[in-house]
Amino acid sequence: MENTYYNPADLKKFGNISELQPEMGRKFFDYYGEVFKEGALTEREKALIALAVSHAVQCPYCIDAYTSDCLEKGADENQMMEAVHVAAAIKGGAALVHGVQMMNKIKDLTM
Amino acid sequence: MSIPVKSLKAQHHQFANPAFQLEVLQHAGTEEGDFPLFGAKLQEHELYPLQPTGTTILQVNVGKMCNQTCRHCHVDAGPDRKEIMTRDTMQLCLNALAKSPQLTIVDLTGGAPEMNPDFRWFVEQLSAMGRQVIVRCNLTIILANPKYHDLPEFFKAHRVQVVSSLPYFSASRTDAQRGDGVFEKSIKALQMLNKVGYGQEGSGLELDLVYNPSGAFLPASQKSLEAEFKRRLLSGYDIVFNNLFCITNLPISRYLDYLVESGNYSSYMEKLVNAFNPVAAANVMCRNTISVGWDGGLYDCDFNQMLELKVQPGTPQHIRDFNLTQLDRRQIVLNQHCYGCTAGAGSSCGGSTT
């Protein structure tokens, strides 16, 4: 076992997850490839969404991969940082909107 | 990161030496070992030896002098470079063209080709011969000095196809690669070209832009990026153009220096090798192009020219001995930098090759 949970070199080994379950691995990667193809959204738009989600799920592998991917797909730094802010706004908003639940409970419990 | 104003050559930098660059390229690899030799990779796909499919383009590098010192420049061009093609050598190019009607396109590059004192004379001769002339114009040259302000009109008079680098539609990314203030000047120059009709529908005056990544990554799909460039340049600056060519940065000269300095060299080479595309390999530009150096030397491409890798020994080595029949039978000289032209959608001076 490594001394750290995350090793940048492991990103390249992502495909190895199929070794222990080839059929599910294959289905996952086929699906993954299909998702990122140009469709109603461009590849660049999908890369920016992936970058935002990478920050929301706080996955260092994903941030590494989708920072490169966004640059390669022609996104610029402003677009990328705005995408991160979208993730931050949703995460912050998700915490704050529960404040309503808290307020409801306060109302239930207090005179 | 600021851009040095001196060329690698003027700095006596080790990457100014082609032999040193080739040495570095030969020993690129990962923990698992060196990358496969490019020739062996072609052999796997029955493309070795690589030979021309019929040469139609004469690419002439009229000199290394330039008003810019771009961070990625494979020529190591700059204001301090004095290598300039003479009118006599240009005349030898014209002689070669006169006896080779198959060469329908003449692609002028540099440096800033317009800085060659005989540039306009050369274009006039080529135009009079009825050849299609491409000028790789860096845009800022048009504003660099009043004597260049009429270049758009000159290009128009000779129906020159203008191909210009603009690495991005924002100042920060453009200036990081090409120097402070380059974006603003490039925008002004593009507006001047548009004003005389370049890039305008129905004008027949072709204005193409070149995108190459400002960093250690590969270019996006040409089609998608072209749509984005068109949208952003039109809405932001009222600029129109015809095509966007996506060009992969090849790991030589200043770009190789950047890769090594920034610690990206191995991972970039690995990207290029992993992205090898046999379809792009079959369509590489050296199969239809011959490159002429400022001193008349003959090369398979402008990159080989900068690495001082002349065309195969036994075939004409200088423009004075030009013989297209012999040159079309040659084997193209390969090295590890060639992976840059075969990665992903492929790369050439005319953009993607697939």
pLDDT digits (tens, 9 = 90+) for A27-63: 999 999 999 999 999 999 999 999 999 999 999 999 9
* B154: exposed, middle or buried (Cβ count in 10 Å: 0-12, 13-18, 19+): middle
pLDDT reported for residue B32: 72
Q: What is the DSSP string of A6-27?
A: --GGGGGGGGGGGGTSHHHHHH
Q: Which domains does chain A possess?
A: 14-109 (1.20.1290.10)
**Could you read off the pLDDT of A61-80 as tens digits, one per residue?**
999 999 999 999 999 899 99
Per-residue pLDDT, B4: 67
Rounded distance, CA B259 to CA B68, Å? Answer: 20
CB of A68 less than 8 A from some CB of B: yes
Q: What share of chain A is helix, strand, coil (3-state, %, to 5)?
A: 75, 0, 25
Closest CA in chain B for residue A43: B224
Peptide bond before B49: cis, by omega within 30 degrees of 0?
yes
Q: Which of B172, B217, B228 sits opposite A68 (nearest CB)?
A: B217
- Number of A/B CB contacts below 8 angstroms equals 33
- Complex-level ipTM: 0.75
**Sign of the four-CA dihedral B93, B95, B96, B98:** positive
The edge-to-edge listing of strands for the beta sheet with B243-246 is: B243-246, B207-211, B161-165, B132-137, B105-109, B57-61, B289-292, B298-299
Secondary structure (3-state) at B58: strand
pLDDT at residue number B168: 86
Burial of A32 (0-12, 13-18, 19+ CB in 10 A): exposed
* Chain A neighbors of B224, CB-CB under 8 A: 38, 42-44, 73-74
CB contact under 8 A, A77 and B172: yes
pLDDT: is B32 or A86 the higher one? A86
Measured distance CA(B322)–CA(B318) in Å, rounded: 7
Q: Find the residue in A nearest to B174 (Cα).
A: A76
What pLDDT, on the 0 to 100 scale, is given for residue B170?
Answer: 84
Q: In whole angstroms, give the CA distance from residue A72 to residue B214.
A: 10
- Residue in B closest to A68 by C-alpha: B217
CA–CA distance, B47 with B39 (Å, rounded to integer): 9
Residue-wise over B306-317: b if at least 16 C-beta within 10 A, else e?
Answer: bbebbbbeebbe
pTM summary value: 0.90
Q: In chain B, positions 225-254, which contact chain A (CB-CB < 8 Å)?
A: 225, 228
User: At which residue do the structure tokens 């492991």 appear?
Assistant: A10
What does the pLDDT look like over B196-250, one tens digit per residue?
A: 999 999 999 999 999 999 999 999 889 989 999 999 999 999 999 999 999 999 9
Cα B185 vs. chain centroid, distance in angstroms?
21
Distance from CA of A107 to the nearest CA of B (A): 52
Q: Is B173 on the interface with A (CB under 8 A)?
A: yes
pLDDT reported for residue B2: 57
Rounded Cα–Cα distance for residues B76 and B110 (Å): 10
Q: Could you give all domains of chain B from N- to C-terminal order, each with its CATH number?
A: 52-287+303-327 (3.20.20)
Whole-angstrom distance, CA of residue B250 vs CA of residue B259: 10
B218/A72 touch (CB, cutoff 8 Å), yes or no: yes
Percentage of chain A modeled with pLDDT above 90:
88
Using a CB-CB cut-off of 8 Å, the residues of chain A touching B220 are 43-44, 72-74
- For B224, the closest of A42, A68, A78 (CB atoms) is A42
Segment-wise mean pLDDT, segments of 10 residues, chain B, 354 residues: 80 97 88 87 97 98 97 96 98 98 98 98 98 98 97 98 92 88 96 98 97 92 92 96 97 97 94 96 97 98 98 98 98 98 94 92
CA B9 remoteness from chain centre: 19
Interface with A, mutate which of B217, B262, B268, B271 (most A CBs under 10 A): B217
